[in-house]
Amino acid sequence: MAARLGVNPTSLYNHVPNRAAMIEDVRALVSAGIDSEPLRSLPWEEGLRAWARSYRRAFARHARAIPLLMTERASTPVLLSGYEDFVVAAEAAGWKSSDVLPLLTAFENFILGSVLDMSGPAVVFDPTGQEDDFPRFAAAFQTLADEDPADPVATRAFERGLDMLIAAARPR
């Protein structure tokens, strides 16, 4: 970061107390794009869908920050405020307090994995030359040739997984 700003690394610490605080500032910047208002205003399933989509969009512009952010515990108020909305909505949907953070983490894992996926090549597989060995996989791969460029496999995978998680997002 110092190199990018053209300053001495120690100069950064005139502005932030330590590395962890700097990471929290990055987290705050990225998290500001997550819209948790739908969790307060919409039915549970619809709120989840709008929140998860905005979460993916917010991180999509900063995919390379994800591994960094996962090295430190999250405490920035802008993110915790969204978590509070998630917890209140999950409890209203019937989840126990002790089950809410595993549920939240499951959604976040899926969303952040989806962001990493979309940050790589548009198609992440390549069976070229191995069609005889893996015929059903190669046939599925071939269908990607016809896909709508406005609806790439990364987006269809995200929407598919989100549909699946949301279909099961009430306690049984």
* Residue 61: count of CB within 10 angstroms of its CB: 11
* Residue 115 in tokens: 């962001």
* Residue 147 in tokens: 């896909």
The only residue of 73, 132, 148, 149 in contact with a second copy, by rule CB under 8 A: 73
Task: Map the footprint of a second copy across residues 100-159, applying CB under 8 A.
Answer: 100-114, 116-117, 119-121, 123-128, 130, 133-137, 139-141, 143-144, 146, 153-154, 156-159
81 binds a second copy (CB under 8 A): yes
Angle CA 110–115–119, to nearest 5: 150
Question: What's the closest the beta carbon of residue 39 comes to a second copy, in angstroms?
Answer: 12
The only residue of 98, 132, 148, 150 in contact with a second copy, by rule CB under 8 A: 98
- Which span sits near a second copy by CB under 8 A: 10-18, 28-36, 45-53, 95-103? 95-103
Q: Which amino acid does the sequence have at 135?
A: P
Q: Which is nearer to a second copy, 11 or 109 (CB)?
A: 109
Task: Return the closest-CA partner of residue 114 out of 61, 155, 79, 170.
Answer: 155
Task: Return the closest-CA partner of residue 103 out of 57, 32, 38, 172.
Answer: 172
Question: What's the closest the beta carbon of residue 65 comes to a second copy, in angstroms?
Answer: 11
- Which span sits near a second copy by CB under 8 A: 5-13, 34-42, 46-54, 62-70? 62-70
The three-state secondary structure class of 61 is: coil
